[in-house]
Amino acid sequence: MNRIGILGGMSYESTIKYYDLILQKYYQKFNDYNYPEVLIFSLNFQKLIDYELSGNKAKYIQYLMSGIKSLESGGATFIIMAANSPHAVYSDLENLSKVPIISIVKATAEKAKQENMKKLLLLGIKFTMQNTFYQNYCKELGIEVITPSNEEQNIIDKIIFNELVIGLFKRESKEILLQIIENYEVDGVILGCTELPLILSQDNTKVKLLDTVQIHVDATLSYYISLE
């Protein structure tokens, strides 16, 4: 049987959501209990953050690969990283991995393309917003990606790290995030941190939200089914 490997712990809140959604969506689709076998390797979140902020790309890749190798050893047929930020080094990890890694960036960009979106606002941690991996891939599909102001980036980053990753969902923080979204004329918003869909939903705004967790899980199941 094929086996899904989840590289998680970035944070545990979104890792739980990934596991939950994979099984939920499988049942909704097939209405049986032949759920995919799932392996989860949970990284040390603080260590990952430290490597991201240090700018030490080699150490960052090495640590991510330690988790990927553990999933490979456990028999994972393919792997998903339950976070957006590690996709900054996706091509490096893809080259080093023995099994396929399903990209959250590719899945999200292709969803935006299907929706005929031309201009997107990227929200996430500062590491993600200040990198260019979303911009680079979306540009290939004719989609422009912009980011909030530096001040707004600081606010978003603080909400994510001080609240969302530990399961705190404050109404005032939600209103702040929605106001930032309203500040920009775009076709849609990439919720480019897997904790953001835990506080923001499509019901909250008329602006189209690209829920990267939902999109990534859909791509994961599609790939899994294609292997059967």
pLDDT digits 0-9 by tens, 49-84: 999 999 999 999 999 999 999 999 999 999 999 999
> Which amino acid would we find at residue 135?
Q
Tell me the three state secondary structure of residue 145.
strand
Q: What are phi and psi of 20, to 5 degrees?
A: -60, -45
132-191 pLDDT, tens digit each: 999 999 999 999 999 999 999 999 999 999 999 999 999 999 999 999 999 999 999 999
Q: Enter the pTM of the model.
A: 0.95
How far is residue 67 from each of residues 40, 127, 220, measured CA to CA in Å?
9, 20, 18
The SS3 call for residue 79 is strand
Q: How big is the CA angle at 65 (ends 63 and 66), to the nearest 5 degrees?
A: 65
pLDDT tens per residue across span 178-228 = 999 999 999 999 999 999 999 999 999 999 999 999 999 999 999 999 998
Enumerate domains of the chain plus CATH numbers. Answer: 3-103+215-227 (3.40.50.1860), 105-212 (3.40.50.1860)
